[in-house]
Amino acid sequence: MATTTQHAPGTFCWVELGTTDPEGAKKFYGSLFGWQIQDQDVGGGEIYTIFKHGARDVAALFKLRKEQLDQKVPPHWGSYVAVESADQAATKAKQLGGTVLMDPFDVMEHGRMAVIQDPTGAVFCVWQAKAHPGAGVLDEPGSLTWTELMTSNTDKALAFYTGLLPWSTEKMMSGPPDQQFPYTMYKTGDTYAGGMMPIQPDMGPMPSHWMSYFMVDDCDASTAKAQKLGAKVHVPGMDIPNMGRFSILQDPQGAVFALFAPKRQG
């Protein structure tokens, strides 16, 4: 895919890692994905790191602040979805039963954002782009390719997100033949925007959350590489019929993410 300079409303446009050990995380992800590192001094003694895929911005990293650690916020990948107006999205989210954790605010000249928690507990950000549209590339090896909601209440989540964002839905069955469950695809027009599945009983106690999937050429090889770099494997490589292969990992600092290798054609 060519360089992306604009994201349609309803598109997951940016992904950001909050971590306890920025230097360790830079080393891990730089080695795993071949990302280059660009540190930016944002004042107050804080550094915001841009991960680059070639010349294009692909993701970011920041050190979790003391107040976040005091609130027991764990290392995590945070998802941003593009909107026309962060203020309107925040207001609408409240009306739909969501909670605005951070009111809309300007990020210098780059854009305007808000942090929202859906009615089932999953947290995400909305991004109104100005100078910075978000990721400069999607759906290439080493970049974000899918974002998936794992939730405790799919009906409540579906009503919230289709009310908030320009999403329609397409439903299918997923999982092993003996453990099928409904899977919802969110769409913006004819383009798939993300997915949603219910948290399964065998997963144990787990809060609702959005999961970031990064594309790789070979799921098993990248999973093995991540493990050698210190990651834990939560779900080893598994096939998604007619689509590809995925795994779920936890980086050395504790943030959970997924890998996806699309099925080769021919």
Q: What is the pLDDT of residue 264?
A: 77
Whether 140 and 227 have beta carbons less than 8 Å apart is answered as no
Q: What is the pLDDT of residue 230?
A: 98
Q: What is the pLDDT of residue 192?
A: 93
Angle 210-196-148 (CA atoms, 0-180°, nearest 5)? 35
pLDDT at 22 over 70: yes
Q: What is the pLDDT of residue 155?
A: 96
End-to-end CA distance of the chain: 20
Which tokens is 238 given? 């598994």
Cα pseudo-dihedral 159, 164, 168, 170, rounded to 10: -50
Q: Bridge-partner residues for 48, per DSSP?
A: 40, 62
* pLDDT tens column, 238-265: 998 888 999 999 999 999 999 999 987 6
CB-neighbour burial class of residue 21 (10 A; exposed 0-12, middle 13-18, buried 19+): middle
Highest-confidence range of 25-29, 71-75, 106-110, 204-208, by mean pLDDT? Answer: 25-29
Identity of the residue numbered 109: E
Nearest by Cα to 137 from 199, 242, 195, 50: 50
pLDDT at 69 over 70: yes
* pLDDT tens column, 164-221: 999 999 988 776 667 777 899 999 999 999 999 999 777 777 899 999 999 999 999 9
User: Which single residue is written with the structure tokens 């609408």?
Assistant: 92
- Identify each DSSP E strand in the chain by its residue range: 12-19, 36-43, 46-53, 56-63, 76-82, 99-107, 111-117, 123-129, 144-151, 168-174, 181-188, 191-198, 209-215, 232-240, 244-250, 256-262
Question: Bigger pLDDT: 22 or 263?
Answer: 22
Confidence tier at 94 by pLDDT (50, 70, 90): very high
Segments making up each domain of the chain, as ranges = 1-266
% of the chain surpassing 70 pLDDT = 96
- Cα(93)–Cα(100) distance, integer angstroms: 7
% of the chain surpassing 90 pLDDT = 80
Q: What is the pLDDT of residue 175?
A: 67
CATH architecture of the region 1-266: Roll (3.10)
Which tokens is 10 given? 């309803």
Whether 116 and 101 have beta carbons less than 8 Å apart is answered as yes
Question: Bigger pLDDT: 42 or 96?
Answer: 96
- Cα(209)–Cα(92) distance, integer angstroms: 20
